[in-house]
Amino acid sequence: MDIRSLLGKRVTERIKPSAITEMMILVKKHNAISLTAGEPSSDVYPADLLRESIEKALRDPGILSYYPLSTGITELREWIAEWMKEDELLPQGYGGENVIMTNGSQDGLNLVSEAFVEPGDTVLVENPTYPEALLAFGKEGANFASVPVDKDGPIVEEMEKVLSKGRVKMFYTIVNFQNPSGCVTCDERKRQILELARRYGFLIIEDDPYRYLRYEGNHEGSYIKMAQDEDMVIYLGSFSKIIAPGIRCGFMVVPSKIASQMGELVLATKLSLPAFLQRAVFELLSSLDMKAHLAHLRETYVARRNALDASLADNAVPQGMTYDLPMGGFFIWARVPWLKDCFDFAKYAVLEEHVGVVPGAAFFPDTSSADSSTLRLSFAKTPPEIAREAGLRLGRALEKYRAK
């Protein structure tokens, strides 16, 4: 039997290999400096405290012997609701019962997608956007429409043009330090977009993993709070960027009307998240001085960003690279106007100069109009001295590639 002939369209047609993963594998194989992954290095996360929290969670003899609620353990959900309330991100009347634990934000994207997307539905996304979100929606058979972004977020006039052409089921947006462009949706744009959502009746999926990695400027509010009791928004949060991606722990905040159905969907897909992991995360969050931890992260990452910026200014900008310095997050979104094939260049840079970047064209929902002169450079994993070397190598790679 050819087992492949039995595969469904989700796998044969709708899911494609991830350009980010492919680059990460190539970088590892060639032992190159990595500007690829949007993940922190092991010196940044609270490793000791995490180990102690896991040990403490496992000391409870009952912790491994039951199936926890599919929505998540109560104390963790309540901690998250309180934390969001303190930050003025939650609407009135929302609490722990609106929080559903996920296996990271990606799981949240998948659950939202399974709950809402029917084949042929249109999902509006930012252009460029996070490609793995496209996979999550695409695997359920979504069609994509896109809206360009500037430094203040999605361009509302462009959005209206798309909306006037046909029904959009939901809008997926990365509100802070967008992956990959680094843009932040300002509250005024959010107000305008909420108005459009009311008028055209679409749901907003607010993905916010980078919120706490702001290095400059003031925090913006959230769509979910601004929408109050209108049930127009689902918020996705994650501990991947502020604790560690390896714990695979995130959450979504959903309107009360759909909370139990979302819980049932979790049950149908994975029963629940591990109880010991949730307990460990709760222990960690209860004992961590979160403000001090976030301040440490910001201090670390801003130094990395600045070192990469300085090195790019010396080495890559003279080769034609341009970019706006992001005020937070992990990524510098760069353009090299003469570059015609960023996929080819990204491979070349690894093989010739041992530096890995992600080809920017992978972030465009419509491959036929993707900008092939773009590159995404992550400074998350590179301490300043390595960031300087990375910029040097990238500059050299551009110079040699151009002269080829």
Pairing assessment for the beta strands 122-127 and 143-150 based on DSSP bridges: parallel
Closest CA to 16 of 136, 143, 107: 136
Rg (CA), the chain: 21
For ligand PMP, the binding residue among 104, 326, 359, 395 (CB under 6 A) is 104
DSSP class of 149: E
Residue nearest to ligand PMP (CB): 104
Q: Judge whether 75 and 284 are in contact, CB under 8 Å.
A: no
Instruction: Let me know how long the chain is.
Output: 404
Give every CB contact of residue 19 below 8 A, 6+ residues apart in sequence. 131, 343, 358, 359, 362
Site for ligand PMP in 144-203 (CB under 6 A): 174, 179
CB 330 → ligand PMP: shortest distance, Å? Answer: 8
- Residue partners of 403: CB distance under 8 A and separation at least 6: none
Amino acid symbol at 262: M
Q: Which of 38, 72, 138, 395 binds ligand PMP (CB under 6 A)?
A: 38
| Residue-wise DSSP of 18-56 | -HHHHHHHHHHHTTPEE----S--TTTS-HHHHHHHHHH
Which of 46, 68, 131, 209 touches ligand PMP (CB under 6 A)? 209
3-state secondary structure 321-332: CEECCCCECCEE
What mask, x for binding ligand PMP by CB under 6 A, covers residues 121 to 140? ---------x----------
Nearest to 244 by CA among 215, 291, 281, 276: 281
Query: How far is Cα 29 from Cα 48, in angstroms, rounded to an integer?
Result: 29
DSSP code per residue over 216-260:
SSPPP--HHHHTGGG--EEEEEESTTTT-GGG--EEEE--HHHHH
Measured CA to CA, the distance from residue 380 to residue 390 in angstroms comes to 12
Judged by CB under 6 A, does residue 250 bind ligand PMP? yes
Rank residues 212 and 401 by Cβ distance to ligand PMP and give the closer one: 212
Residue from 105, 127, 300, 319 touching ligand PMP (CB under 6 A): that is 105
Q: Is 245 in the site for ligand PMP (CB under 6 A)?
A: yes
Closest to ligand PMP by CB, 37 or 316: 37
Nearest approach, Cβ of 293 to ligand PMP (angstroms)? 17
For ligand PMP, the binding residue among 36, 71, 106, 173 (CB under 6 A) is 106
Stretch that binds ligand PMP, among 8-16, 103-111, 119-127, 275-283 (CB under 6 A): 103-111
User: Which segment (7-15, 48-56, 102-110, 149-157) binds ligand PMP by CB under 6 A?
Assistant: 102-110
Q: Quick one: which of 140, 207, 220, 283 contacts ligand PMP (CB under 6 A)?
A: 207
- Closer residue to ligand PMP, CB minimum distance, 36 or 238: 238
| Encoded amino acid at 136, one letter | A
Question: How far is Cα 26 from Cα 346, in angstroms, rounded to an integer?
Answer: 10
Look at residue 72 and give its three-state secondary structure.
Answer: coil
Considering the rule CB under 6 A, would residue 238 count as an interface residue with ligand PMP? yes
240 binds ligand PMP (CB under 6 A): yes
H or E segment to which residue 387 belongs: helix 384-403
How far is 209 from 50, CA to CA, in rounded Å?
19
H-run or E-run covering 124? strand 122-127
Nearer to ligand PMP, 130 or 212 (CB): 130
Q: Which is nearer to ligand PMP, 114 or 352 (CB)?
A: 114
Residue 329: CB minimum distance to ligand PMP, A: 9
Which segment (43-51, 104-112, 198-206, 221-229) binds ligand PMP by CB under 6 A?
104-112
The interface region with ligand PMP, picked from 238-246, 261-269, 362-370, 388-396 by CB under 6 A, is 238-246
Question: Shortest approach of ligand PMP to residue 273 CB, angstroms?
Answer: 12
Q: Considering the rule CB under 6 A, would residue 283 count as an interface residue with ligand PMP? A: no
Of residues 291-330, which lie at the interface with ligand PMP (CB under 6 A)?
none
Q: Which stretch binds ligand PMP (CB under 6 A): 56-64, 237-245, 302-310, 387-395?
A: 237-245
Minimum distance of ligand PMP from residue 38's CB (angstroms): 4
Query: What token pair was written down for 380?
Result: 């998350």
**With respect to ligand PMP, which residue has the nearer C-beta, 250 or 360?**
250
Binding-site ranges for ligand PMP (CB under 6 A): 38, 104-106, 130, 174, 179, 207, 209, 238, 240, 245, 250
